[in-house]
Amino acid sequence: MALAEAGARGRLLRWPRVLLFGDSITEYSFQENGWGAYLAERLVRKCDVVNRGISGYNTRWAKLVLPRLITESTSADSIVAVTIFFGANDSALKELNPKQHVPLEEYAANLKSMVEYLKSVDITADRIILITPPPLQESAWEKACLAKGDKLNRCNATTGQYAQACVQVARECGTDVLDLWTLMQKNQDFSSYLSDGLHLSTKGNSFLAAQLWSRLENRLSALPSLLPYWRDVDHTNPEASLL
């Protein structure tokens, strides 16, 4: 059978998508042992896990980008889950990092704006998960800053205020939320979750992956595998199984 004929006979295969939208902690999540890679492995043949992490970005910039990633006419119908994971840059101290800093009230408003945009393109609240920034290990991050000739430009208490604002937005908008800042600090020494005081270590990636999967598993693991298992293909008449 010619390929063109096979294409005409078969339905177009459209994989559902999980969209990961965030800053560098999302961008790096497809690295070895990353939390995004973990999700992709769990969902292979069921969903495409799409990484739209953009290193260094804050919510002021992200809310401008989001409508360029998802539109009702082109892609929203195939999205089964979206994570919005910002705050590590927004919470940078204004006097030391004015380019990335976003005031707390604006941060909350930006998150709410992004959730409302997703709802406007028919991505329902039950498909949206907000993730708070992780806690900041100040001494380790200060070393990273000093190595670049900078001063310590973040503090954990301030990051906590942004995490609380994220939780509040989720409550107001009716979405799920993963309060990473609080959960990681239940272990008194949370430094092992971080590689440089800000970004996630292998242990931190594993922790986030497990927490996120517990929220997604019931919803996504029931999705059917796309295309039959190879042993179930009729080898004498593969068209009957595959088209």
User: Per-residue pLDDT averaged across 14-24, rounded?
Assistant: 94
Is the predicted pLDDT of residue 44 greater than 70, yes or no? yes
How far apart are alpha carbons 21 and 29 in whole angstroms?
11
User: Per-residue pLDDT averaged across 106-120, rounded?
Assistant: 97
pLDDT of residue 219: 84
Residues 191-206 pLDDT 10s: 999 999 999 999 999 9
pLDDT of residue 11: 75
Residues 45-88 pLDDT 10s: 999 999 999 999 999 999 999 999 998 766 677 899 999 999 99
Question: Model pTM?
Answer: 0.92
Q: List residues with catalytic annotation.
A: 24, 196, 199
Q: Amino acid identity of 25?
A: I
Average pLDDT, the chain: 92
pLDDT of residue 108: 98
Is the predicted pLDDT of residue 116 greater than 70, yes or no? yes
Q: Amino acid identity of 234?
A: D
Report the range of poorest mean pLDDT among 14-18, 99-103, 160-164, 175-179: 14-18
CB atoms within 10 A of CB 201: 15
User: Per-residue pLDDT averaged across 100-117, rounded?
Assistant: 98
Distances (CA, A) of 172 to 56, 100, 103, 229: 27, 26, 19, 43
In the chain, DSSP assigns E strands to 17-22, 48-53, 79-85, 128-131, 176-178
Is the predicted pLDDT of residue 6 greater than 70, yes or no? no
pLDDT of residue 221: 76
24: tokens are 């560098």
pLDDT of residue 189: 87
Angle at 184 between CA 116 and CA 155, to 5 degrees: 80
The CATH-assigned architecture of domain 17-220 is 3-Layer(aba) Sandwich (3.40)
pLDDT of residue 190: 94
Percent of the chain with pLDDT over 90: 78
Distances (CA, A) of 112 to 104, 123, 154, 169, 197: 13, 14, 23, 6, 28
Is the predicted pLDDT of residue 7 greater than 60, yes or no? no
User: Per-residue pLDDT averaged across 86-91, rounded?
Assistant: 97
User: Per-residue pLDDT averaged across 181-199, rounded?
Assistant: 92
Q: Output 29 or 76, whichever has higher pLDDT.
A: 29
Is the predicted pLDDT of residue 155 greater than 70, yes or no? yes
91: tokens are 């919470």
Report the range of poorest mean pLDDT among 26-35, 52-61, 147-156: 147-156
